[in-house]
Amino acid sequence: MTVAAARPRPIQSRIALPVIGMALFLMAETMLFAGLISTSMVLRATTRQGWNVDALPKLPLWISAANMAVLLTSGWLLWGRQLKGAVALGTIFVAVQGAEWSRVLMYGIRSGASVYAGVFYTLIGTHALHVIAGLACLMWAARKSDNALAVRVCSMYWFFVVIVWPILYWLVYL
């Protein structure tokens, strides 16, 4: 009787590869936002002349705070598996952000106006691009509603986008 060479069995992962991939991607995104946030904090601490917010028109705090509530609610809806509601509120968030950017531009706050203005557009613009990408992912997952994995992976990304916003709001608007 011959003994067959023992073959190593493939390791069965309990976590789907797309989930691991999204987790790794979100780690990179966390590093991106950490770099942008820390850069803005260093600039704020060292560039008093260029950070003179009193010389600039006031940002629309209450509209942006209400818009933050819209984005947080979208995350809550997604947590409750109401994908279409989350997409609708995310779309409202982007629309309000666009309207506010138009208003801020009308007030004369341009990216080259001051260090603060540059930080504002960099942080808020980067987040806006992430929200748009998150909406695209959620809409794709909504079409594949029978694919729980697609919804799970896109939800991970959306929750990241939702969590980052209050930090940016506190940093830029307050």
- Taking CA atoms, 163 is separated from 13, 22, 31, 44, 69, in Å, by 28, 16, 14, 22, 12
Q: At 155, which CATH number?
A: 1.20.120.80
Residue 112: predicted pLDDT: 82
Predicted structure pTM score: 0.87
pLDDT at 2 over 80: no
| 81 conformational bin, left if phi > 0, alpha if psi -120 to 50, beta if neither | left
Residue 10 lies in a domain: no
Residue 57: predicted pLDDT: 72
Mean pLDDT of 77-92: 96
Domain region containing 147:
61-173
When the pLDDT of each residue in the chain is averaged and rounded to a whole number, the result is 89
Residues 6+ apart with CB under 8 A from 60: 100, 103, 104
Residue 47: predicted pLDDT: 84
Residue 24 lies in a domain: no
pLDDT at 5 over 70: no
Q: How many domains is the chain partitioned into structurally?
A: 1
- φ and ψ at 117, to 5 degrees? -60, -40
Residue by residue, DSSP assigns 30-47 as HHHHHHHHHHHHHHHHH-
